[in-house]
Amino acid sequence: MKMVVMTGSPRPKGTTNRLADEFIKGATEAGHEVFRFNCATAKVHPCVGCNHCGFGAGPCVFQDDFAKVLAPKLQGADAVVLCGSTYYFALNPQLASAISRFYCINNAITGERKAVLITACGDEGEWITDGIEKTHEGILKFMRWTDAGRVIARGFQSAAEVASSPFVKAEFGTSVEVERFGEKIPHTRASYHVTFLVKVDASKRVAELAA
Amino acid sequence: MSKKVLIISSSPRKGGNSDILCDEFAAGAKEAGNKVEKIRIADKKIGYCTGCYACQKTGKCAIKDDAQKVIDKMMEADVIVLASPVYFYCISAQLKALIDRTVVVYPKLTNKKFYYLLTMADTNRKMFDGSLAALRGFLECYEGSKECGKVCASGVYEKGTVKDTKFIAAARKLGMKVK
C-alpha cells in the first residue's frame, strides 16, 4: 500500500514525531511504501478561500511545497496518515494548514483511501482530543475516506517519557491502564482506539482493514 | 458599563462570511455603548508556535512578528470575539496559529468573556463540533474564561451569502448583548 504520512509537529524529537517514526517503521516492515511529509518545515500556505482553484478544478494560487511535493503523492496514495500535535486541545496549525489545502486537489483525492490519525498530548484527560477526533471524523466523511485507526497518546510530555512507559509493547487495538501519580486511570475506548503505545504496528491494522 | 471589545476576524477573505458577521457584531456592540476594535488576522503576520518554550524562561516569544501586539490587545480587552470560517471541520489554521501563540502569556489571559462567530458551507450543524471543541479547549486553558454566546452560520459558502440569512440579525443582536 502507498502511504502518505503528514506530520505537523515542529519538534523533530517530540512525542508526536516519535509516534510517526514508529508508525513508519511498522508500516515499512509490513511492506508498505511510505512517503513522509513534514508540514512544520515545508513551505505550505494555508488556504485563503480565494477559490481560484474552483474547488480543485484548476491549480492553486500557491505553488508551494504542498502543490509541488505533497499533492502528487496524495493523489497516488492508498492511505493518508494525519499526524499532528495537540496544542490547546486542537490540531496544531502546521498540520491544519496543509489539511486546508486538500480543497485545491479535492477531486483528485476524495474516496478510496484509508485514513489514520496520530496525535499526542501532555494532558491525560479522556476528552482532551475529542475536538481533534471530531475534526478527523468530519474530514473522513467529507473526503469519503475510511477510518483505519487512531493512535491517541495522552499524558506524555516528552518522547523519553513515552519510550520509558510500560506501554511501548502495547498491541494495536488494546486498551490499557496507566498508573500515574499513584492513581490508576483506565483508558478504554472503541475497539480500534489505541490509547498509549509507541511500538505501534498500526500498519498491520490498516492492512487488515484493507484486506 | 462600557466594555473593551476585541473582535478577531480570521477569515482570509475580506468581506467573507465570518468577516461580515464580525462587522454586524461590532455594530451591535457599539450600539450598546461599548468600545470596539476589530482585527483581521490576514493583515497581520503571525507565525506558528514551535513549542520551543523559550517564552517560559524569558517571558518573550522567540518569533518576532505581529502576534505579541495582538496578544497585548487580548490581554487589555474585557470581551474577545473569535471569528472563523470552518475549514475541514476545524477553525482556520490562521486563528489556531494565534491561539497557540498565546502560550507566551500563559496562564495570565484570565477572566475574559468570549463570543464565537463561525461560518461553514456544510448544512449539517453537527459539523460545527470540531471547531467549537477547538475554541472551548482554548478557553479551558485560561481561568475565569466565559463563553457568553455564539453565532454558527451553516450553509454559507460563496463570499457574502451570509448577508441573506437570519445569522446577520443574530450577530448584531449578540453584539448588543455585550454590556
Whether the CB-CB separation of B5 and B178 falls below 8 Å is answered with: yes
Task: Please give the pLDDT value at position A162.
Answer: 60
User: What integer is the mean pLDDT of A30-46?
Assistant: 93
Cα separation, A120 vs B89, in Å, equals 20
Cβ-defined contact of B93 to A46 (cutoff 8 Å) = yes
Task: Please give the pLDDT value at position B124.
Answer: 96
pLDDT at A26 over 80: no
Phi, psi (deg, nearest 5) at residue B38: -115, 135
Report pTM.
Answer: 0.88
Domain that holds residue A159: 2-210
Task: Please give the pLDDT value at position A130.
Answer: 87
Whether the CB-CB separation of B155 and B128 falls below 8 Å is answered with: no
Structural domain count of chain A: 1
Task: Please give the pLDDT value at position A141.
Answer: 94
- Could you tell me the pLDDT band of residue B7, with boundaries at 50, 70 and 90? very high
Query: And the C-alpha cell for A176?
Result: 490499557
Average pLDDT, chain A: 78
Residue B51: list chain A partners with CB under 8 A. 9-11, 14, 85, 87
Task: Please give the pLDDT value at position A178.
Answer: 41
Cα separation, A17 vs A83, in Å, equals 8
Cα separation, A36 vs A70, in Å, equals 9
Q: Which helix (H) or strand (E) holds A4?
A: strand A2-7
Number of neighbours of residue A63 by Cβ within 10 angstroms:
11
Point out the least confidently predicted range of A94-108, A166-180, B129-143.
Answer: A166-180
3-state SS assignment for residue A44? coil
Task: Report pLDDT digits (tens) over B101-125.
Answer: 999 999 999 999 999 999 999 999 9
Residue of higher predicted confidence among B128 and A162: B128
What's A160's domain CATH number? 3.40.50.360
Angle between helices B67-76 and B93-101 (to 10 degrees): 70
> Using beta carbons and an 8 Å cutoff, which residues of A are at the interface with B?
9-11, 14, 40, 46-50, 85, 87-94, 96-97, 99-100, 102-103, 128, 130-132, 134-139, 142
Domains of chain B, with CATH numbers? 4-176 (3.40.50.360)
Helix ranges restricted to H, chain B: 17-31, 54-58, 67-76, 93-101, 129-140, 167-176
Residue A88: list chain B partners with CB under 8 A. 96, 99-100, 102, 134, 137-138, 141
Residue A46: list chain B partners with CB under 8 A. 12, 92-94
Cβ-defined contact of A91 to B49 (cutoff 8 Å) = no
Cβ-defined contact of A93 to B51 (cutoff 8 Å) = no
Contacts of A148 (CB under 8 A, 6+ apart): A79, A114, A115, A116, A205, A206, A209, A210
Residue A14: list chain B partners with CB under 8 A. 51
Task: Please give the pLDDT value at position B84.
Answer: 98
Per DSSP, B48 falls in state P
Task: Please give the pLDDT value at position B172.
Answer: 98
Whether the CB-CB separation of A159 and A18 falls below 8 Å is answered with: yes
Average pLDDT, chain B: 96
Nearest CA in chain A to B125: A138
Q: Which helix (H) or strand (E) holds B35?
A: strand B35-40
pLDDT at B31 over 60: yes
Residue A128: list chain B partners with CB under 8 A. 137
CA distance B178 to chain A (A): 26
Point out the least confidently predicted range of A24-38, A93-107, B105-119.
Answer: A24-38
- Could you tell me the pLDDT band of residue A150, with boundaries at 50, 70 and 90? confident
Query: And the C-alpha cell for A205?
Result: 491494522
Task: Please give the pLDDT value at position A18.
Answer: 78
Nearest to B154 by CA among B140, B146, B143, B166: B166
pLDDT at A206 over 50: no
Residue in A10, A100, A136 nearest the CB of B87: A100
Q: How far is CA A148 from the centre of its chain?
A: 11
Query: And the C-alpha cell for A174?
Result: 488494546
Residue in A47, A49, A131 nearest the CB of B130: A131
Cα separation, A69 vs B157, in Å, equals 28
Mean pLDDT is highest, among A165-169, A171-175, B64-68, for B64-68
- Could you tell me the pLDDT band of residue A198, with boundaries at 50, 70 and 90? very low
User: What integer is the mean pLDDT of A183-193?
Assistant: 33
Whether the CB-CB separation of A198 and A168 falls below 8 Å is answered with: yes
Contacts of A199 (CB under 8 A, 6+ apart): A22, A26, A168, A169, A170
Nearest CA in chain B to A46: B93
| Strand intervals (E) in A101-199 | 114-121, 146-154, 176-180, 183-187, 193-194
Tell me the count of A-B CB pairs closer than 8 A: 128
